[in-house]
């Protein structure tokens, strides 16, 4: 079984004429042709189609037909309705039955998310529609507080799974699914606000938002389990799944957790302590690799560096990072580390740095219980040539609380 997991076979896929036909069907959806007609045409032409072929064709539409990720995202639920029941259950190597495997964990979480959306929340929404009294509002708020954990599920998908798919040229899922994930996250926050500040005139809006969350959250479960995860299992090696599993704890889990640590028989990853030793010689001193790593990770700030080609090359790994980072982002372009809706901001900042228009840009935001100061610095060599950007992130809430002076050593500890 390990050979099947770790070796990637050459995929022949559909014959060229059927690929063209499937592409035409997706374009028909884009043009607004009746769903029933398109579905009938699909069922007549295809017995089944696998998840990878659908993803590749959607990716081709974005590249060749000029259809944007946002437009693909709007059609994604329609695509699912046409293809549902026709997608092959391609080789999974029983990963969904291996406790601790990332796919097993994703699917275990999806069961809990589905239960929360379609049993608890749907029931409480129906009661709220009949009578919007305080008890029903509180039950919905409880549901939403639990559902907010879906951010961890989506973050593991976005920051761990998507980067590996992108290494194999599969970018469609990250561009499309991330946008939907963000819409769901935004709706959860918005409807929580509406319920916390509830007035009767907001009832219809609350119902619309909750209905959207239930529908889109349920569709996302289907898309993950029938398109994304089978395609990832067909593409990623066992080593890559091991790395994803090893880094998942840092982001966390949604409503449940892995039953055990996944340990395939054929392989064990080296720990970080087994990294190559050696020394780094700098103009102002010499440090061992271990000293340098510990020094960077003990800084009271988070640091990330991207090179002149916008590729993430390094991030510090302190005990309490403000924003999640995983090793999977190393070698990934910074644009693909951000949701599609904010990529234009990232590009504008980098353009200003590269052109010399700016050398620094600052932001400050409230994040959970923190007040986060985010600074970006253009890094230039001795000749002024741009060689990258340094991101510097710090929780300044404790600093803002400092008053007076402290001139003596605290000896009470």
Same domain, 199 and 51: yes
The answer to whether the beta carbons of residues 147 and 306 sit under 8 Å apart is no
276 in a structural domain = no
286 in a structural domain = no
Q: What is the domain count for the chain?
A: 2
The residue among 233, 256, 283 that closes a domain is 233
Same domain, 222 and 357: no
Mean pLDDT of 379-391: 95
Mean pLDDT of 85-114: 76
Same domain, 206 and 311: no
Return the higher-pLDDT residue of 14 and 31: 31
> Within 10 A of 298 (CB to CB), how many other CB atoms are there?
10
CA neighbor of 187 nearest in space, from 235, 136, 239, 150: 150
% of residues, the chain, pLDDT over 90: 47
Same domain, 132 and 214: yes
At 16, the pLDDT band (50, 70, 90 cuts) reads low
Same domain, 63 and 153: yes
Question: Taking all residues of the chain, what is their mean pLDDT, rounded to a whole number?
Answer: 81
Phi-psi bin for 318: left (phi > 0), alpha (psi -120 to 50), beta?
A: beta
pLDDT of residue 271: 40
Residue 289 above 70 pLDDT?
Answer: yes
Mean pLDDT of 238-265: 88
253 in a structural domain = no
* Lowest mean pLDDT, pick from 101-105, 181-185, 315-319: 315-319
Return the higher-pLDDT residue of 113 and 175: 113
* CATH number (domain holding residue 222): 1.20.120
256 in a structural domain = no
Same domain, 226 and 342: no
Same domain, 169 and 73: yes
Residue 72 above 60 pLDDT?
Answer: no
Return the higher-pLDDT residue of 320 and 275: 320
Residue 245 above 50 pLDDT?
Answer: yes
The residue among 233, 260, 281 that closes a domain is 233
pLDDT digits over 179-188, tens only? 899 999 999 9
pLDDT of residue 274: 40
pLDDT of residue 144: 94
pLDDT of residue 209: 96
Residue 368 above 80 pLDDT?
Answer: yes
pLDDT of residue 270: 45
Residue 278 sits at φ, ψ, to 5 deg, of: 140, -175
Residue 283 above 90 pLDDT?
Answer: no
Same domain, 216 and 335: no
* Lowest mean pLDDT, pick from 15-19, 143-147, 299-303: 15-19
* CATH number (domain holding residue 394): 3.30.450.20
Mean pLDDT of 245-261: 88
Residue 93's contacts (CB-CB under 8 Å, 6 or more residues apart) are 1, 4, 5, 233
385 in a structural domain = yes
Mean pLDDT of 141-169: 92
Mean pLDDT of 30-44: 72
Same domain, 229 and 311: no
pLDDT digits over 187-232, tens only? 999 999 999 999 999 999 999 999 999 999 999 999 999 889 988 9
- Give kind and range of the element (H or E) at residue 285: strand 285-288
Residue 8 above 70 pLDDT?
Answer: no
229 in a structural domain = yes
328 in a structural domain = yes
pLDDT of residue 90: 37
Q: What's 284's DSSP letter?
A: T
Q: Domain residues for 172?
A: 11-89+104-233
pLDDT of residue 269: 43
Residue 268 above 60 pLDDT?
Answer: no
DSSP track, 7-34: --PPP--S-HHHHHHHHHHHHHHHTT--
Which residue(s) pair with 198 in the sheet? Answer: none
Residue 3 above 50 pLDDT?
Answer: no
Return the higher-pLDDT residue of 23 and 361: 361
pLDDT of residue 80: 60
Same domain, 201 and 53: yes
Alpha carbon separation from 245 to 171, 315, 384 (Å, rounded): 21, 20, 42
Same domain, 218 and 314: no
Residue 24's contacts (CB-CB under 8 Å, 6 or more residues apart) are none
Same domain, 176 and 314: no
CA neighbor of 342 nearest in space, from 232, 179, 193: 179
At 302, the pLDDT band (50, 70, 90 cuts) reads very high
293 in a structural domain = no
The residue among 233, 261, 289 that closes a domain is 233
Residue 357 above 90 pLDDT?
Answer: yes
């Amino acid at each position: 079984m390990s050979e099947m997991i770790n070796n990637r076979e050459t995929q022949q896929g559909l014959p060229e004429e059927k690929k063209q036909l499937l592409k035409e069907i997706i374009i028909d959806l884009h043009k607004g042709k009746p769903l029933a007609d398109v579905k009938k045409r699909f069922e007549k032409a295809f017995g089944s189609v696998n998840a990878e072929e659908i993803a590749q064709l959607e990716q081709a539409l974005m590249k060749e037909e000029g259809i944007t990720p946002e437009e693909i995202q709007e059609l994604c639920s329609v695509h699912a309705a046409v293809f549902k029941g026709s997608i092959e259950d391609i080789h999974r190597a029983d990963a969904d039955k291996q406790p601790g495997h990332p796919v097993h964990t994703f699917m275990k979480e999806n069961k809990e998310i589905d239960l929360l959306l379609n049993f608890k929340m749907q029931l409480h929404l129906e009661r709220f529609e009949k009578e919007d009294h305080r008890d029903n509002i509180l039950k919905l708020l409880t549901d939403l507080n639990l559902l907010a954990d879906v951010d961890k599920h989506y973050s593991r998908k976005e920051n761990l799974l998507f980067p590996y798919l992108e290494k194999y040229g599969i970018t469609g899922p990250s561009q499309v699914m991330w946008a939907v994930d963000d819409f769901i996250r935004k709706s959860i926050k918005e409807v929580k606000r509406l319920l916390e500040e509830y007035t009767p005139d907001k009832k219809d809006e609350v119902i619309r938002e909750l209905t959207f969350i239930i529908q889109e959250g349920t569709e996302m479960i289907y898309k993950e389990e029938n398109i994304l995860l089978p395609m990832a299992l067909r593409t990623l090696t066992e080593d890559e799944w091991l790395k994803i599993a090893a880094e998942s704890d840092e982001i966390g889990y949604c409503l449940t957790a892995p039953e055990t640590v996944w340990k395939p028989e054929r392989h064990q990853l080296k720990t970080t302590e087994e990294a190559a030793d050696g020394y780094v010689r700098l103009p102002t001193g010499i440090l061992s690799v271990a000293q340098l790593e510990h020094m960077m990770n003990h800084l009271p700030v988070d640091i990330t560096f991207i090179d002149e080609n916008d590729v993430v090359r390094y991030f510090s790994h302190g005990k309490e990072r403000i924003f999640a980072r995983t090793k999977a982002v190393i070698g990934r372009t910074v644009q693909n580390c951000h949701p599609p809706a904010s990529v234009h901001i990232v590009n504008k900042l980098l353009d200003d740095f590269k052109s010399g228009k700016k050398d620094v840009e600052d932001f400050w935001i409230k994040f959970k219980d923190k007040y986060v100061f985010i600074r970006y610095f253009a890094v230039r060599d001795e000749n002024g040539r741009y060689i990258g950007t340094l991101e510097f992130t710090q929780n300044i809430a404790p600093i803002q609380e400092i008053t007076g002076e402290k001139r003596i050593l605290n000896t009470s500890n």
